[in-house]
Structure 1
Amino acid sequence: MFPLIDSLPRYSAVYLEALEKKGRQESTIRRYFYDVNDFLAWMRVVKKEDSFSVFQSLQTKDFQSYFDFLMKERHYSLRTLQRVLTVLKQLVQFQISLGNLSFNPVSGVEIGPKDDACFTEEDFITSDELQQLFETVRSYKGLTENQQKYRHMLIDRNQSIIMLLAYYGLTLHELTSLKMKHINFTKGYVHVPSETSLTREIPLEKNDQTLLYSYYETIPQAVRPAWYSNDHFLAAFDYQRGTYRWVYKTHSPKPLTEIAVQKMIRLEIERSGLRKGISAQHLRRTCILNDVKAGLDFETMKTKYGFRSPLSLRRYYNYLQVIPT
């Protein structure tokens, strides 16, 4: 049996066990496991738990919300989305066969390609808005007394996040996947591994290199990620203890999750008084658009930002043709 199956809630573990009994290859079971486990992690964040009673209560809109997250924040390709959709649909269908559910809400989920959808001005962030966002991140305005107490430990981390999204165009998934082995402070570059786009290496401007290292040094040495290791670069913070979180089971800092980054950006946007809805996606889009405006050719853009689909990149060139100059 695939060793990690037992770590899942029983209702999902029996589904994978049934697939094993049917003779599915271990590589298939492994892929299904990670897809199911990822969805359960989303449940624990959004629904507060991954119990079977909560799973039974899920409606089409809940599954649609999950796939919207995969499309908008993780930039999953259509092929990957279709795979995940199949896995979850079969998981629900398995429970239907056991008499535990009466219908399959996953059947109503829409994941059609939207690569040809037109951008609008609201899909980007202006230079003034970005400057205001950076100023807010560096400020203590609107913070509680407890937040102010530890703000000095978070300013460089939060600035680094905004910088990597807005100036280097990382996706949210790429950002939170960065590990210490991907950061070279000496030579000044970041290796960006990606499951959803092309792996690439990006050189850092000197000031940005200094900012990343400054954040790294704000982490107390006892809980600091180790150089050139598999420790995640971006760590979660614990306000109760006044330090960065440490996972004793893995002997490493607790990684900052995509959802935590989204929340951080949302709170900083609220604090800055900027329009609602600005997200990590807005920052990446604006970075890409600025390079298109600067005249970078199509193939260079594909490589620089890891585009697998030319249709996704073509949207930026199409938008540039219709906006006023």
Structure 2
Amino acid sequence: MTSDSAQLSLFDALPPAAEPEPAGAAPATPPAAAPIDQARAGQSTLNAHTPLTNAVKAYLQHIATTHLSPHTVKSFGYDLNILMEFAAPQRPVGQIAFRDLENFIDWLQNGRGVPCNAKSLSRRITALKAFFKWLNEIGAIDTDPAAPITQRPVATPLPDTLTDEQVRQVLAAAGELRHHAEQPDARPLLLVKLLLKTGIKKSECMALKLEHIDLSNPDEPALWIRYQDPRYHRKERKLRLEPAWAALLQEYSAQYQIAHALFPCTARNLEYVLAEVGQRAGLPKQLSFEMLRWTCAVADRRAGMTEETLRHKLGLSEERWHEVGPKIEKLAAPPL
């Protein structure tokens, strides 16, 4: 209960009487609503009679402020625009029923005249379910017509990882570049060891700065993964580094005159670095950020790291873990 609506007790002092406003004075300007109240006010205007196009616009504005990536927001917007193409933009959201959505899914596959592969269909069903669930949660519609729709997960192959022997070959190849007689280069080994130990993504790697590296305890150096965008603060985490990595960092910093960004180059440049290491190691497939990330995850799981700890280490949401976790389990399991 707020102070405006609270009842006074016998022990409360009476509020002072309001002073009359001087003649001709302009009326007092009411205080601006807090952002959260403004957002709620915007959502409360949606109801069963709201045209689909207005509801979609409000939903996209809402998810743009969440942890979803800009790519996901853009994809959901594209998918919901296709729904408007089928159902008409001005149709009230309260008139869209489960049968309509079933017909929409069938139209995507058979009637639209545009190919819709399994992955696209799965994402569009996800967008539908998320949109109508949100409308139901904010009270715009009484029932969620998309709730009975079953998701159709896409069966994707297991990712490529390195065997223990291949890891040794990769480290040896990167070590050869470090001690090259004509042009010694510590960067390949620094990068490979960083990715094998931390399992960070390419984008996280490119965002690293020297200030993110904690060498205060030589026996337990650490790496902070930071995000400037507040929507991704939940992904921030502190990861262990190998003690010997600190000396490698010093060597690399001297060679490349590192002052701020850990890798002052493009992501494509580092991809070439990994590709060259993989070729020197004789790998059958190209060495990549993704391959080293999965190799790290599988090694940690085999070493006994719990699923929850590993999920946090990789910076994954619970939703994303539902897809990634089982794959890691299969890759980490002993042979049958």
State the TM-score, normalizing by the size of structure 1: 0.52
Aligned to 1:232: 261
The answer on whether the counterparts of 2:177 and 2:186 sit within 8 Å (CA) in structure 1 is no
Change (3 A) 1:132 1:148: same
Question: Does residue 189 of the first structure (1) align with residue 179 of the second (2)?
Answer: no
The 1:320–1:133 alpha-carbon spacing in structure 2 relative to 1, beyond 3 Å, is closer
More helix by share: 1
Contact 2:226–2:233 (8 Å) recurs in 1? no
Equivalence for 1:310: 321
Trace 1:173-188 onto structure 2 (pairs within 5 A).
173-187=203-217, 188=221
Displacement of 1:82 in angstroms is 2.6
Q: 1:127 aligns with which of 138, 153, 164?
A: 164
Aligned equivalents of 1:301, 1:277: Cα separation in 2: 25
Deviation (angstroms), 1:291 = 1.3
**Match of residue 307 from structure 2:** 298
Q: 1:190·1:203 contact (CA, 8 Å) conserved in 2?
A: yes
Cα contact 2:177–2:188 (8 A) shared by 1: no
Compute the displacement of 1:307 (Å).
Answer: 1.4
Does 1:167 pair with 2:179?
no
Q: Does the CA-based 8 Å contact 2:197-2:241 persist in structure 1?
A: no
Matched residues in 1 for 2:190 and 2:163: separation?
Answer: 19
Which residue number corresponds to residue 83 of structure 1?
A: 73
In structure 2, the gaps of 5 or more residues are 1-56, 80-113, 124-151
Q: Counterpart amino acid of 1:161?
A: L
**Partner Cα separation in structure 2 for residue 186 and residue 298 of structure 1:** 29
1:171 is aligned with what amino acid? K
Query: Which of these residues, 294, 297, 317, is aligned with residue 285 of structure 1?
Result: 294
TM-superposed CA distance for 1:191, in Å, is: 0.4
Q: Which AA in structure 2 matches 1:315?
A: K
- Kindly state the Cα deviation for residue 316 of structure 1 after the two structures are TM-superposed: 0.9
Report the residue type matching 2:335 in the other structure: P
The one-letter code of the counterpart of 1:271 is R
Match of 1:257 in 2: 266
Separation in 1, partners of 2:78, 2:186: 39
Q: How many residue pairs were aligned?
A: 202
Deviation at 1:148, TM superposition (A): 6.7
**Which of 198, 203, 227 is the aligned partner of 2:235?**
198
Counterpart CA distance in 1 for 2:316 and 2:169 is 29
Matches within 5 A, 1:210-229: 210-220=247-257, 224-225=258-259
Say which SS state the counterpart of residue 269 (structure 1) adopts.
helix
Pairwise mapping of residues 88-107 of structure 1 onto structure 2 (< 5 A)?
Answer: none
- Secondary structure of 2:335's aligned partner: coil
> Residues 310 and 88 from structure 1, CA distance in 2 versus in 1: closer, same or farther, beyond 3 angstroms?
closer
Taking only the aligned residue pairs, the percentage that are identical comes to 20
Which structure is larger by alpha-carbon Rg, 1 or 2?
2
2:335 is equivalent to residue 324 of structure 1: yes
Q: Who is 1:43 aligned against?
A: none
| Residue 281 of structure 2, aligned match among 262, 269, 272 | 272
**Aligned Cα RMSD in Å?**
3.9
The 2-side partners of 1:213 and 1:88 are apart by 47
Q: Indicate the structure whose relative CO is greater, using CA pairs within 8 Å and at least 6 residues apart.
A: 1
